[in-house]
Amino acid sequence: MEVRMAEHLGMCFGVREAIDLALELAQHGRVAILGDLVHNPDVVAEVEAAGAVRVQRPESLQTQTVLLTAHGTANRVKLQLQEDGYQVHDAACPLVKRVHQAVAKLVAEGRHPVIIGQAGHVEVRGLVGDLEEYTIVLHEDDLGQLAGLPRLGIVAQTTQPLERVLELVAMIRSRFPEADLHFIDTVCQPTKDRQTALHELADQCEVVVVVGGPESNNSRKLADLARRLGRPTYQVANAAELQPEWFAGVRVVGLTAGTSTPDPVIRAVQERLKTLG
């Protein structure tokens, strides 16, 4: 069985920088990570093995050094931690910080902020954490919340499929033609590159394997896209999750991975697929 790799796949620069920062801080003493540094179990295990402690709430902190996750954090959380005497380090991806800046710009223009994204996702929680009012939309049924709002400012969670984001923006324009609307495309380039590469890969294979943790939004979106492109698709966190029966009679399998997936995990899946073939 031939294994074909997507042209763009795997860990992005923002995740790499966050991991490097976490490992560096852990070398100099105890550090607590507020939440999951990134959504990948292998990365979480590596960072914890280096001595970092993961906590889910500020009140659980027991170290003076605190690292904020790659997904971004509301400014009010950072300021409160600093006021409480913690040494705060921010591992937020620069492209996530760009979304925070875009939201602030739209609010400064007097627009109601609209976030296209997954409510409850840590990145989206960080984006809305400093806002007095906002609306999160992900499906057409969510758009009714925007009725009567005269000025709208729209951004997107960085890992949303660009095609879907543009569809929702078009729906909003069509449904509320009287609204003054400003859309800023904040889907990150690594996400776009991996989605484009998957389109090309799907034309070359019979089955697609997406390597990414179960909590990884961009990995799930890659798997959803592959299925929409008509390919049987399996998302796995590591090589151990591959099942031989998935590839019975398959001649060519396509392999891609989310932006938080480490290179060694991708290589292990690639080698396992070769043995299954």
- 14-41 pLDDT, tens digit per residue, is 999 999 999 999 999 999 999 989 989 9
Q: Any idea which of 15-24, 33-42, 94-103, 224-233 has the lowest mean pLDDT?
A: 33-42
For residue 183, list its beta bridge partners.
154
User: Do both 86 and 106 map to the same domain?
Assistant: no
The dihedral sign for the CA sequence 103, 108, 109, 112: positive
Mean pLDDT of the 107-122 span: 97
Residue in the block written with tokens 């763009």: 8
CB count in 10 Å sphere of residue 224: 15
Mean pLDDT of the 48-58 span: 93
Select from 92, 126, 161 the last residue of a domain: 92
Select from 46, 71, 92 the last residue of a domain: 92
Compute the C-alpha angle 93/99/105, nearest 5°.
140
Select from 164, 183, 202 the last residue of a domain: 183
Mean pLDDT of the 47-71 span: 93
> Could you say which of 46, 48, 123, 133 is catalytic?
123
The structure's pTM equals: 0.92
Mean pLDDT of the chain: 96
Percent of the chain with pLDDT over 90: 96
User: Do both 272 and 211 map to the same domain?
Assistant: yes
Identify the helix (H) or strand (E) that includes residue 53.
strand 52-55
Mean pLDDT of the 83-107 span: 97
Q: How far is CA 154 from CA 137, 163, 166, in A?
A: 10, 15, 11
DSSP summary character for residue 111: P
Q: What pLDDT does 161 receive?
A: 94
User: Do both 158 and 201 map to the same domain?
Assistant: no
Asked about 215 being catalytic, the answer comes back as: no
Q: What pLDDT does 94 receive?
A: 97
Nearest alpha-carbon partner for 127 in 238, 140, 118, 247: 118
User: Do both 158 and 197 map to the same domain?
Assistant: no
Residue 155's pLDDT band (boundaries 50, 70, 90)?
very high
User: Do both 178 and 198 map to the same domain?
Assistant: no
User: Do both 196 and 211 map to the same domain?
Assistant: yes
Tens digits of residue pLDDT in 265-274: 999 999 999 9
User: Do both 126 and 156 map to the same domain?
Assistant: yes
User: Do both 156 and 167 map to the same domain?
Assistant: yes
Nearest alpha-carbon partner for 208 in 225, 233, 228: 233
User: Do both 225 and 258 map to the same domain?
Assistant: yes
User: Do both 155 and 207 map to the same domain?
Assistant: no
Q: What pLDDT does 277 receive?
A: 73
**Domains in the chain, number:** 3
Mean pLDDT of the 173-198 span: 97
Q: Which two tokens stand for residue 202?
A: 């799907």
Mean pLDDT of the 182-189 span: 98
CA atoms of 170 and 198, how far apart (whole Å): 24
DSSP-derived pairing of the beta strands 65-68 and 31-34: parallel
Q: What is the CATH number of the domain that holds 68?
A: 3.40.50.11270
Residue partners of 78: CB distance under 8 A and separation at least 6: 68, 88, 90
What number of residues does the chain have?
A: 277
Residue 78 sits in which domain range? 13-92
Q: What is the CATH number of the domain that holds 108?
A: 3.40.1010.20
User: Do both 168 and 219 map to the same domain?
Assistant: no
Mean pLDDT of the 146-170 span: 97
Q: What pLDDT does 90 receive?
A: 97
Residue 209's pLDDT band (boundaries 50, 70, 90)?
very high
CA atoms of 268 and 274, how far apart (whole Å): 10
User: Do both 220 and 238 map to the same domain?
Assistant: yes
* 194, pLDDT greater than 90: yes
CA atoms of 123 and 100, how far apart (whole Å): 10
Angle separating helix axes 189-202 and 162-175, nearest 10 degrees:
110
Q: What pLDDT does 191 receive?
A: 95
Mean pLDDT of the 173-192 span: 97
